[in-house]
Amino acid sequence: MPALSPVPDDTIAAPQPAIPQEDFKVNQDLLKRVASNLQLQAEEMEGPSDSLFNVLSSSALGCLALSLHQGVANISNTLWQTPASLAPISKKVERRYFVPAKDHEYLYSHLAPNSLVVKSVNHREDKDARRLDAFGRKVYSLASFQLRVANHHSLLSQYDFNLWGSLPKFEPLLPEWDKKDFKALVEEGAATVKMTLQAASDAADTAARSMASMISMRRALWLLLSGLSAKVQSLMRDLLFDGKALFAIQMDVHLHGMKESHTFLQTLGLYVPPATE
């Protein structure tokens, strides 16, 4: 029987994650008011549509796209004039965002390329591996700094939310004709800061994923050069990251417990007990 060919990704699309339409509408309406207040161009973007699953929703959810802020565009255009010679992090900017180094060393230092895997590659003095690993360290530093910025963003947004939450106690002190406008202002401020908190959460999520991508890339590099089988590499690449070193302690434990890695360990001059039947 001939092997079945894989189904193309665009043949059947999985349903999109459910989004509470009421919450989504509230957020989109808030963005429209932001655009109006700042006199920004806003473009309505249609949500993804799928012929198989669109019957589950009365209408596809569209998103409002806000124009790029001119200040953001100016920063990008200025920095991109010399991309190769650009430092990954501005020293001036870096000084604004710190977290305690204790228990968070991974945010300030490069992860040591530990493990028997790295030892095997270093034994061959692979210069290309070192250059690629250095590049991975550079990008990792940038991603870890982005996580520190997201942390400050989150804390400031939470503080802002607490400030807005303290304002209703002043409502009884206002003249009756001002209370309605005051209440509306407080509600708008609270809604805005909630969206700001969501943006901070999304920024932290993106930074953490970027760090994970760099960890995975550096692991993949060392594993590829180690000569281990693709099966072993795949298993080792996705082991837990503990924030202390590139490879977790379980890495070498797994290596010692695998039959097919015995030859690899023996090439390092390590004693490997005979495999049990």
User: Which residues lie closer than 8 Å to 208 by C-beta, 6 or more apart?
Assistant: 147
Tokens at 81, concatenated: 């004039």
pLDDT digits (tens, 9 = 90+) for 209-266: 998 888 888 777 777 776 677 776 776 766 667 666 666 555 555 555 555 444 444 4
Strand partners, 150: none
Range of the domain at 132: 87-267
pTM: 0.68
Asked if residue 57 belongs to a domain, the reply is: no
Separation of alpha carbons 28 and 65, rounded Å = 10
pLDDT digits (tens, 9 = 90+) for 33-70: 988 898 888 888 766 556 665 555 544 556 888 888 88
Name the residue with tokens 């202390």.
244
Strand partners, 66: 42
The pLDDT of residue 204 is above 90: yes
Asked if residue 28 belongs to a domain, the reply is: no
Asked if residue 274 belongs to a domain, the reply is: no
State the total domains in the chain: 1
Asked if residue 1 belongs to a domain, the reply is: no
pLDDT digits (tens, 9 = 90+) for 95-147: 899 888 787 776 776 665 555 556 555 555 567 767 777 777 788 888 889 99
Asked if residue 160 belongs to a domain, the reply is: yes
Asked if residue 139 belongs to a domain, the reply is: yes
Assign 243 to helix, strand or coil: coil
